[in-house]
Amino acid sequence: MTIDEWIALSDEDRGRIAREWSPHDTSGIDQLLSEIADEFRKKHPHLNVQGLGNVHGSLELVVIHPFIFDKRLIPDSFLGLAVRSSLSEPLPDDFDVFSAYVWAPENYANFVDNHAQEIRNALGNRSMSREEMLNALIGIPFEEWVEQCREFGPGYTDL
């Protein structure tokens, strides 16, 4: 299938077909996957596409970014493939204050409270509120992340 034929499919059809692809053997679709990644790069030139990855048994586009980054800029999916984000650098030393779960809301809140100006500068918005910074670093509204962590069960947040 050509990239033009792939693009002409509905989102539903692309998603259905892509879910059937084996992440362990892409030999029949390598060219199409490469062209999907190229299309992503054209549409999102500000994002750094590392390539494709096998994430939890499915093929996903992998975007790498620094820790201080507005994750809301990363789409959930593109042309039938899920988009996964990954850090291009280690977590900041003072991020992990809630040691039970590294991505706990408490860790994000602590980091934002201690690095607000650095975050504002890196994201190019000197008037960002605390809530906006949290939302940007997490990629979804902070309160939604707190609720998700509560739903994960004990040990993911104390908020």
pLDDT digits (tens, 9 = 90+) for 49-84: 998 888 777 889 999 999 999 999 999 999 999 999
pLDDT at 25: 87
pLDDT of residue 69: 97
Domain boundaries, the chain: 3-87, 105-152
pLDDT at 102: 94
Q: Which pLDDT value is given to residue 127?
A: 97
pLDDT at site 78? 95
What would the pLDDT profile of 11-33 be if each residue is shown by its tens digit? 999 989 998 898 888 889 999 99
Rounded mean pLDDT of the chain?
94
Q: DSSP letter at 90?
A: P
Distance, in Å, from the CA atom of 34 to the CA atom of 138, rounded to the nearest integer, reads 28
Q: Model-level pTM?
A: 0.87
- Percent with pLDDT over 90 in the chain: 81
55 in helix, strand or coil?
Answer: strand
Residue 96, pLDDT > 90, answer no
Beta strand extents in 23-69 (DSSP E only) = 48-55, 58-65
